[in-house]
């Protein structure tokens, strides 16, 4: 399972067993649920910037009881868990496309940020859905 929206996102939740409501059995998240969680995490960034809560991320995960690893007591999701999702989304937006393919390492210095900005200006990034977000973040740094 890999998230197409946020590559590597499934690494956060791949061991989770989730009970979404009292009527459902605990289950691992399927690929579509991970995609929905990734999309909601990206949307949460906007809500956090405008100070309007967590948006759909909080709605989607409301009532979830999660066992994050085998042998650990299941617990409801807390705000810290939502922060992990949003932090991963933000970090993913600030990575270069090359880093995403090679090892998911965040940008380390201004030279890397400048090289990402140059890559974004190149015409070969037409399929990059985060092109403008990366350019904006690079100009802010």
pLDDT at 49: 85
Q: Which residues contact 61 (CB under 8 A, 6 or more apart)?
A: 37, 40, 77, 81, 82
Domain residue ranges of the chain, discontinuous segments joined by +: 1-93, 95-141
pLDDT, the chain, mean: 78
Nearest to 141 by CA among 103, 104, 101, 96: 96
Q: Is the pLDDT of residue 117 over 60?
A: no
- The mean pLDDT of 98-105, rounded to a whole number, is 50
Q: Is the pLDDT of residue 12 over 90?
A: no
Higher-scoring residue by pLDDT: 4, 62: 62
8 Å CB contact between 130 and 93: yes
Q: pTM of the full predicted structure?
A: 0.61
pLDDT in tens, 22-36: 888 999 999 899 899
pLDDT at 57: 92
Nearest to 93 by CA among 28, 53, 46, 50: 46
Task: Calculate what percentage of the chain has a pLDDT beyond 90.
Answer: 26
pLDDT in tens, 67-81: 998 888 999 999 999
Q: Is the pLDDT of residue 84 over 60?
A: yes
């Amino acid at each position: 399972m890999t998230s197409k929206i946020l590559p590597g996102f499934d690494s956060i939740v791949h061991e989770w067993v989730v009970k979404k409501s009292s009527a459902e059995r605990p289950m691992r998240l399927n690929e579509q649920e991970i995609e929905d969680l990734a999309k909601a995490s990206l949307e949460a960034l906007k809500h956090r910037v405008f100070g309007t809560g967590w948006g759909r991320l909080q709605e989607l995960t409301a009532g979830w009881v999660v066992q994050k690893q085998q042998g650990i007591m299941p617990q409801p999701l807390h705000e810290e868990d939502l922060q992990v999702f949003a932090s991963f989304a933000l970090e993913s937006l600030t990575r270069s496309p090359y880093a995403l393919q090679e090892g998911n390492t965040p940008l380390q210095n201004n030279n890397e940020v400048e090289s990402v900005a140059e890559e974004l200006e190149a015409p070969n990034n037409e399929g990059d859905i985060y092109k403008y977000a990366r350019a904006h973040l690079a100009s802010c740094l």
